[in-house]
Amino acid sequence: MLLLKNCTAVELFPASVNHATDIVIADGKILALGENLTALYPQAEVREMNGKLVMPGLVCAHNHFYSGLSRGVMTPIGPCPDFISTLKNLWWRLDRALDEESLYYSGVICSLEAIRNGCTAVIDHHASPAFIQGSLAVLREAFMDVGLRGMTCFETTDRNGGQAELLAGIKENCDFAQLIDREKRQNPQRYLVEAHIGAHAPFTVPDIGLEHLAAACEETGRGLHIHVAEDRYDVSHSHDKYGLDPLVRLDKFGLLSEKTLIAHGLWLSPQEIELLNQHNAFLVHNARSNMNNHVGYNSHLPAVKWAALGTDGIGSDMLEELKFAWFKHRDAGGAAGTDKFLQMLYNGNVLLERNFGQPFGCLAAGYTADLAIFDYAAPTPLCAENLAGHLAFGMSSSAVDSVYVAGRAVYQDRAFTLDVAPLYEKACAAAQKMWRRMATL
């Protein structure tokens, strides 16, 4: 049992700030909150917070941990004047160069850096066409070794190996979901990683693939995680080949549900937004990635019922992502306030609740004790009414002091609870080998 004493307890949505609060944690959950709880829980280990901000951990709702060793990549890369050439010349070469070693260290480094930035959970979307079978178990091992909560899935596609590749991706998704089900039954205390059923994007998945994906979702009880309308090409391809908007095409196969995660969705039609909302499906906005890939701006965010924030592989700094999402919205003439984006940051917890079947995102008895602690000295009063302003214009991940996942410290007093230096050294060596493989592809 742990008692965090004298916290500034912060919740993102509905926004709240409560000073001089004690938080008691036991068995991975919040047991109690209140003032001066030490006498009520004399057996608890007490950690004095001295007014530090304690909030539910941040959630990155769409990421690509397989890209973790791409930073500063040194290998010949052809010109990338548009989104499709960027995929072909960079990312689809990188994912084909991944092997078990490089994938593991990519997952480890991304997990470490997510935690350092105050993330307690990351929803991942994976691709490694030369290493499909068992790849998700390797990623799960990376999550577990670091102590990060997460979800992952395999990016089903036929872009490299036709139907054989497509079927292998489906099988990997189903096998991994079954592995997770066994773990939940046999060792629920180690249940930190969940599964989606993954697919790359509608333009690389034919109808037969959508049929298999729908069957996999039904068989496993999971939802689909897929990029849709990230670029105009996805829409024009769907119109040309199938005569349908891409989201309408997914719905034709029964692939939209409250567990569905649609990444990007920049070029969805108003009818598709309505369809998304009817199914209570999630759209995850990735502002920095959209800007980096020059694919446009998602102007219909205010119309989306369930929207969250992700990074699409550009790290896991969710406070940075919040800022970019807000500033780009303002730059595009958007009328939504900072509170809208604060709610989007919070909504990653709703995604976790739908998939893990346990409560996240609030500082209340019975909620999962995934917590981020910030050493933030507010230069002006901090209250519920101006919390969004503090996060958008003041706080940053440099203020992260400690992180707890399921009540266990994985980062404390600005230091990891495991020796990370050897992990970075091995990751650097694995990256260089992967870059050399990329050069041959």
Of the ranges 68-72, 89-93, 211-215, 310-314, which one carries the lowest mean pLDDT score? 89-93
* pLDDT at residue number 95: 82
Indicate the helix (H) or strand (E) that contains 10: strand 2-11
379, pLDDT greater than 90: yes
Buried b (16+ CB within 10 A) or exposed e, 378-417: eeeebeeebbbbbbbebbebebbbbbbbbbebbbeeeebe
The four Cα atoms 269, 351, 321, 390 give a dihedral, to 10 degrees, of: 120
* pLDDT at residue number 89: 79
Contact 411, 115 (CB under 8 A): yes
189, pLDDT greater than 80: no
Strand order of the sheet with strand 193-195? 58-63, 119-124, 149-152, 193-195
Q: Tell me the pLDDT band of 97, cut-offs 50, 70 and 90.
A: confident
Q: In angstroms, what is the C-alpha Rg of the chain?
A: 21
C-alpha–C-alpha distance, residues 230 and 84, integer Å: 11
For the chain, percent of residues with pLDDT exceeding 90: 88
The residue-averaged pLDDT of 259-281 equals 98
List, for residues 390-433, the tens digit of each pLDDT value: 999 999 999 999 999 999 999 999 999 999 999 999 999 998 99
* pLDDT at residue number 86: 84
What value does the mean pLDDT of the chain take? 95
Whole-model pTM over 0.75: yes
* pLDDT at residue number 359: 97
Q: Tell me the pLDDT band of 84, cut-offs 50, 70 and 90.
A: confident
* pLDDT at residue number 434: 85
Alpha carbon distances (Å) from 30 to 19, 256, 435: 17, 33, 44
The DSSP line for 339-379 is HHHHHHHHTHHHHHHHHHSS--S--STTSB--EEEE----S
Of the ranges 63-72, 177-186, 208-217, 338-347, which one carries the lowest mean pLDDT score? 63-72
184 token code pair: 């939940």
Residues in the chain: 441
Q: Tell me the pLDDT band of 88, cut-offs 50, 70 and 90.
A: confident
* pLDDT at residue number 81: 84
127 token code pair: 């691709």
